[in-house]
Amino acid sequence: MAPPQVPAAEVAQPGQYPHALQGWGGSLSGIVRMGIFWYFAMQLFGPKKVTNLDLLTNNLFIKGENLDLWVYVSEESVFTNFGNDEALKWHETNIPYAVWTPDSVRQTNFTYLPSESVQHNGTLYAHVFFARSGFSPDPESPEYERSATFSKRHLFIVYLPKPKVDNRKSLLSKDEKGNFTKPLLEAPEEEVDEGPSEWVSFFKPNVTMNLVDDFTRYPRGGVPPQIVDHMTFDELTGDYYPTIFFNEFWLLRDKLIILNETIKEVAVNMDLGPISLTRWQLYQQIDQSFQLHKSYGSMMDGEADELKRVFLEGNPYLLGLTMCVSLLHTVFDFLAFKNDIQFWNKNKSMEGLSARSVVINFICQLIVFLYLLDNETSWMIILSAGMGCCIEFWKIGKAMHVEVDRSRGYPVLKFTDRQSYAGNKTKEYDDLAMKYLSYVLYPLVAGFAIYSLMYERHKSWYSWILGSLTSCVYTFGKFQATVYFLCVISFLSVPRLFFLSKC
């Protein structure tokens, strides 16, 4: 990596000569410091330069060399029965290695009949063998040569928690025995989800194999750690075989098939093609990032698939625009959050401000927080919502007097208006605005809650209450801005409004 280029020096004027010298001196010193830092960084972390070719590990195969392919499907972890024609599901010849032509891309489809063992959480492997054209992968064959053959196995079966069944029901519809039935609107029949999640076996119907286009000459013992575990080395020479990569990055969970006694046959699709070293490492890096986020609790199961689905099915231009808007929204949200804290921290008077809107905003934040808990959302989002609730409650203490009333024998929070708020016309306009808005808001909230109860499904009455309130918050949550607007308009006199309009 070359150091950054120094900008071209401007023509020095008579009165600017000392500054020009100073600028050149600062630039030169900065270049020297960067050069020294780069030198020591490369000495510590950079690859070692090897002059002796015997200390380098190379690819045992050459670019464009023809390969033959055998894919055997078996329940055994180690495959040795090369004479079993029933296990051989795919055979290809003369595949050019690491050549980006249509000849290097192959595909096949076949039907697999699961055995009773596989149907009951058994294992199933795809044993993939490559060999130079004219050689055999069978060690007992006279055409076998150890350095001309490489292989890798792949699990067709993956064990995952059983998908949670949507146990929502209609809270009003009951049969003659008093049991809940299907909702008024048609919906697929679903079982009730009881007890802890059960792990079941899933079948991968799509298998994508890639031969990594990698001919890098690595120092012995100096292969990057992120790829060394995926490579196979020859025990005698120390050189490495071509890397077989089973690409499952775009295999979404909803494409997997749950295995049980009812699954009698499965359609399997297999693809083969080359992949560049950079793209292979990128896939691995993204997968590791997803796993890291899951371990931290910032990503739930299934969120990675939803993100991949956006890239698969979304418009790339619209996706880019959405990312830019989301970035700007995050920046503006942070600035608004910072300014809100600064304003309420320094505010000493409630003149022109709506105290009730502050309380309502806290209630809305609390409802959303409880809704996220009920729906088992990501802990990162729950913590963010909980922090927002704490800040909104803190703002109530700035807008009103909060006291602990122990007169009833148990502590109760008591909220009273501040003198600066109760002693001016702001409270009068605030009450007036809330009164008129309630004429519209309350019927709409009640109507939506009744509609949701009659035509939608819910886990429980508690979930129905939270869901209805949350929908109302999302729909009408910004109505407190109307209260602010009415308070400000009523508080300002006509001459002041005329003056502000001229400023």
Is residue 182 scored above 50 in pLDDT? Answer: no
**Domain that includes residue 14, residue range:** 1-46
The reply to whether 147 and 214 lie within a common domain is yes
From residue 128, alpha-carbon distances to 86, 186, 243, 382 in Å are 15, 47, 12, 45
Domain C-terminal end among 27, 46, 65: 46
The reply to whether 286 and 380 lie within a common domain is no
Dist CA 265 CA 40 (whole Å): 60
User: Could you tell me if residue 326 is inside a domain?
Assistant: no
User: Could you tell me if residue 168 is inside a domain?
Assistant: no
pLDDT at 395: 86
pLDDT at 37: 60
The reply to whether 272 and 379 lie within a common domain is no
pLDDT at 241: 95
Reported as a single tens digit per residue, the pLDDT across 476-498 is 655 555 555 555 555 554 444 33
CB atoms within 10 A of CB 219: 13
User: Could you tell me if residue 450 is inside a domain?
Assistant: yes
Q: Identify whether the C-beta of residue 59 lies closer than 8 Å to the C-beta of residue 45.
A: no
pLDDT at 332: 83
Give the chain's mean pLDDT: 77
pLDDT at 31: 52
Reported as a single tens digit per residue, the pLDDT across 310-343 is 777 777 788 788 888 878 877 887 787 788 888 8
The reply to whether 360 and 285 lie within a common domain is no
The reply to whether 226 and 112 lie within a common domain is yes
Dist CA 421 CA 428 (whole Å): 10
Is residue 136 scored above 90 in pLDDT? Answer: yes
The reply to whether 421 and 286 lie within a common domain is no
Would you state the structure tokens that stand for residue 313, as one six-digit string? 């099915």
User: Could you tell me if residue 317 is inside a domain?
Assistant: no
Instruction: Tell me which residue has tokens 């409880």.
Output: 370
The reply to whether 230 and 292 lie within a common domain is yes
pLDDT at 12: 39
pLDDT at 312: 78
> Confidence band (pLDDT; 50, 70, 90) for 35?
low
The reply to whether 85 and 24 lie within a common domain is no
User: Could you tell me if residue 328 is inside a domain?
Assistant: no
The reply to whether 255 and 143 lie within a common domain is yes
**Quick one: which H or E segment has residue 225?**
helix 225-228
User: Could you tell me if residue 263 is inside a domain?
Assistant: yes
User: Could you tell me if residue 341 is inside a domain?
Assistant: no
Distance from first CA to last CA of the chain, Å, rounded? Answer: 55
Dist CA 128 CA 149 (whole Å): 11
pLDDT at 323: 80
> Confidence band (pLDDT; 50, 70, 90) for 385?
confident
Q: Stretch 166-170: mean pLDDT, rounded?
A: 70
Q: Identify whether the C-beta of residue 476 lies closer than 8 Å to the C-beta of residue 444.
A: yes
The reply to whether 231 and 353 lie within a common domain is no
The reply to whether 266 and 415 lie within a common domain is no
**Quick one: which H or E segment has residue 303?**
helix 303-313
| Higher-confidence position of 359 and 203 | 203
Give the chain's domain count. 3
pLDDT at 72: 96
Check: pTM over 0.85? Answer yes or no: no
User: Could you tell me if residue 171 is inside a domain?
Assistant: no
Task: Find the range with the poorest average confidence among 37-41, 82-86, 354-358, 422-426.
Answer: 37-41
Q: Stretch 411-433: mean pLDDT, rounded?
A: 70
Is residue 201 scored above 80 in pLDDT? Answer: yes
Reported as a single tens digit per residue, the pLDDT across 438-474 is 787 788 888 888 888 888 887 888 888 888 888 877 7
The reply to whether 367 and 455 lie within a common domain is yes
Is residue 361 scored above 80 in pLDDT? Answer: yes
Burial 159-188 (b: 16+ CB within 10 A, else e): eeeebeeeebbbbeeeeeeeeeeebeeeee
